[in-house]
Amino acid sequence: MPRMRSAIGAVVLAATAGAALVVVMVASPLPLAETVPTLIVPVMFVLAGFLGPIWRASAFTCTTVAGIGVLHLVALAASALALADAGPGPAWHLASQIAFVAGFGLLVPLAAGYPDGPAPSWSLVVLGAGVAVPVLAAFAGPTPVVLDGATMLGPVAEVLPVWIAAASAIVFLLPAASVVVGLVRLVRGDRALRRRLAWPLAALAAMAAVVAVGAAFQSTATGLTTALFLASSPLVPVGLIAGARVGDDADADAEARRLRRELQSIAARLEAASRALPTGQAEIAAPEPRTADAVGPDARLDRLTDRESAVLALVAAGRSNPAIARELHVSLSAVEKHVNAIFQKLELQPGPDTHRRVAASVAYLRDRP
């Protein structure tokens, strides 16, 4: 069922992107030479999102990147309809503004949940607040058309102060907000996350800077900022997809190899200790049969849920957290929560002399027949 839902979602995104492209090319009253360049960036996002699975990029990143491109294509299509038809123009204009801002706003949940997701709830609140800005602007005063920033369309209903429409350019800070979120995660994350975030964050920062400059100097530097935007923006989806690849995490592989080595070392020491025992000592030292109220590894393992037991079995097999997430079809954060719960239920406290994954693996393997 999850795979079916993802397949249906991909078909819907592809169909929406295709329809939006057709509408822009057919309905836009602008010359083709002015229309095509505006399509380059959203098409790059869509292509990167759909081609990402080929390079084993995470589903969360691929879907969000494709969604950003589709929303911007929808914004351009609605803007073309607003320019072509003077009747329902304000309504199409409002739809284009909402879709355009939502596309920029999705960068915040993407940065907050990158690379495997899910996006935290607070980032969705930021997205919702950003989408509310064009709605308020539509009831305040004229705002520029998405497809042609030099053209202004009137408000849906001019009932709010006109300065609200002028201040709606604040939505161009959404890419900068996503950069701030990414920087916080870069500082607080582990080495693997920092390596994944480095290039995507650099590309996103470049695009955010160009967008901010373009919003601040719309009338004086339009040509330059447009050229810089077209040059920098395609780097963002490529960088995001490259950093979201799974299965090539060197740190995870190194951790798995270290875990296997330590398990082999523990097994060798246990074997040597059993051989060193006097004759008959092994039988004396053998554990008594397990009882219902026994306190030991077996009793602690009984505290685990079925999902936690499945995660522990894969940990004992030497799997890394990303590999467990792929095998169980869950997010990386969910695996981390399960692993922490396992440590707590097995009463494994962190310490300089304790490798909790090894200790948990040993407890699990001792309980096997």
Residue among 169, 171, 181 at smallest CA distance from 205: 181
Distances (CA, A) of 11 to 17, 101, 110, 126, 160: 10, 23, 21, 28, 40
DSSP three-state, residue 57: strand
Task: Quote the CA–CA distance of 164 and 155 in Å, as a whole number.
Answer: 11
pLDDT of residue 282: 44
* CA 131/CA 125 separation, integer angstroms: 10
Residues 6 or more apart in contact with residue 184 via CB below 8 angstroms = none
pLDDT of amino acid 99: 94
Q: Are 256 and 320 in contact (CB under 8 A)?
A: yes
pLDDT in tens, the chain (369 residues): 344 456 787 888 889 999 999 999 888 888 888 888 888 889 999 999 999 888 888 888 999 999 999 999 999 999 888 888 655 567 888 899 999 999 989 999 999 998 887 888 999 999 999 999 998 998 888 888 888 777 787 888 888 888 888 888 888 888 889 999 999 988 887 777 888 888 888 888 887 777 766 666 655 445 555 666 666 667 888 888 888 876 544 445 555 556 666 666 666 666 666 666 555 444 444 444 444 444 444 577 888 888 888 898 888 888 888 888 888 888 888 888 888 888 888 888 777 667 888 888 888 887 665
In angstroms, the CA 369 to CA 363 distance is 13
DSSP letter assigned to residue 280:
T
CA–CA gap between residue 30 and residue 10 (Å, rounded): 30
- Which residues touch 194 (CB under 8 Å, ≥6 apart)? 186
What are residue 144's phi and psi, to 5 degrees?
Answer: -70, 150
Any bridge partners for residue 152, and if so which? 144
Pairwise CA distance, residues 153 & 161, whole Å: 16
Quote the strand ranges of the chain, DSSP E. Answer: 143-144, 152-153
CB neighbours of residue 369 within 10 Å: 2
Q: How far is CA 250 from CA 170, 193, 254, 320, in A?
A: 40, 11, 6, 11
CB 343: neighbour CB atoms within 10 A? 16
Burial class (CB in 10 A: 0-12, 13-18, 19+), 248: exposed
DSSP per-residue string spanning 127-195: HHHHHHHHHHHHTTS-EE-SS-TT-EE--S---S-THHHHGGGGGGGHHHHHHHHHHHHHHHS-HHHHH
75 CB contacts (<8 Å, ≥6 apart)? Answer: 95, 96, 97, 98, 99, 100, 103, 146
Helix (H) or strand (E) holding 58: none
What is the pLDDT at residue 148?
A: 77
